């Protein structure tokens, strides 16, 4: 079966299968689980985005609401106050595509006007009934994630596949072309640790959807549970999970540590996708 067709995000073309792409996380929140939340420090967020760009990130993902378990809802006005200045500044200074990490149609609309060129929705377009229409009207691609929180469990890949197909149906019903979608199985969103590990082990089964796969394992609690380490000491565990995600079919990895994970991606790609000595010259 042929892989997904290339996708243009902003001014860049992403050819799936050529290599693994890296999405750098910019949390403009005071309460990120990973300890990297920048609050409302616009200068720090812009500086981080510029550093990620210089390090080689392919996408910058800007979010203004924590998605950690138990996090409260951030109002749309506050979320926009956090993310819009960062998106506006970065979009004027760099060509790297900027993604808005939100589940709110109002925030998505404003962020896309500010310069974001990709929507990343951890509720897979199923939380806000108007957000799929925002994507369709704007013409941008979208990452749809399966979120297991509050849903009955039967089978890891079965539940993910069913949830993603539901999100794809919402998108296409609103007029978003299927080929503009990227799927995310939702590592860490409503799963037990053993389910997250099974998700990575069986990730290749999601290739049947015919869409590029994004995986976000960076610093998450499952890594901490396996290693018995706090969030600030999960770099190597994250590296292992990223390499295995690539081996099992990931096209994009969403990470906090761009420079280090780019090295992981390069070596994993050399094994998985093939490498010749002249490519290092």
pLDDT digits (tens, 9 = 90+) for 107-129: 999 999 999 999 999 999 999 99
Find the catalytic residue in 19, 89, 126, 254: 254
Instruction: Report the CATH fold assignment for 17-275.
Output: TIM Barrel (3.20.20)
Q: Do β-strands 7-9 and 12-14 pair in parallel, antiparallel, or remain unpaired?
A: antiparallel
Find the catalytic residue in 19, 220, 259, 266: 220
pLDDT digits (tens, 9 = 90+) for 208-222: 999 999 999 999 999
Three-state DSSP state, 252: strand
In the chain, where the domains are located = 17-275
pLDDT at 194 over 80: yes
What pTM value is reported for the model? 0.93
Q: Is 113 a catalytic residue?
A: no
Expressed in angstroms, the distance from the first to the final Cα of the chain is: 33
Q: Is 254 a catalytic residue?
A: yes
Q: Under a CB-based contact definition with an 8 Å cutoff, are residues 59 and 99 in contact? A: yes
């Amino acid at each position: 079966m042929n892989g997904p067709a290339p996708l243009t995000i902003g001014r860049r073309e992403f050819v799936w299968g050529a290599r693994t792409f890296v999405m750098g996380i910019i949390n403009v929140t005071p309460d990120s689980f990973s300890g990297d939340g920048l609050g409302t420090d616009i200068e720090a967020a812009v500086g981080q985005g510029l550093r990620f760009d210089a390090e080689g990130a392919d996408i910058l993902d800007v979010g203004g609401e924590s998605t950690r378990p138990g996090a409260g809802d951030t109002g749309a006005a506050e979320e926009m106050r956090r993310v819009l200045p960062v998106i506006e500044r970065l979009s004027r200074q760099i060509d790297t595509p900027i993604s808005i990490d939100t589940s709110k149609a109002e925030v998505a609309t404003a962020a896309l006007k500010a310069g974001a060129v990709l929507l990343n929705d951890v509720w897979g377009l199923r939380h806000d009934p108007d957000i799929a229409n925002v994507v369709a009207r704007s013409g941008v691609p979208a990452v749809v994630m399966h979120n297991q929180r509050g849903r009955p469990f039967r089978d890891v890949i079965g539940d993910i596949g069913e949830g993603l197909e539901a999100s794809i149906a919402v998108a296409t019903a609103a007029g978003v072309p299927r080929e503009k979608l990227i799927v995310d199985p939702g590592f860490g969103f409503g799963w037990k640790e053993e389910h997250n590990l099974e998700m990575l082990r069986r990730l290749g089964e999601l290739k049947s959807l015919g869409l590029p796969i994004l995986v976000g394992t960076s610093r998450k609690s499952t890594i901490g549970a396996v290693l018995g380490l706090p969030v600030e000491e999960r770099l190597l565990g994250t590296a292992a999970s990223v390499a295995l995600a690539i081996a099992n079919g990931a096209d994009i990895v969403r990470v906090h540590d761009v420079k280090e994970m780019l090295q992981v991606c390069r070596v994993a790609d050399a094994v998985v996708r093939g490498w010749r000595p002249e490519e290092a010259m």
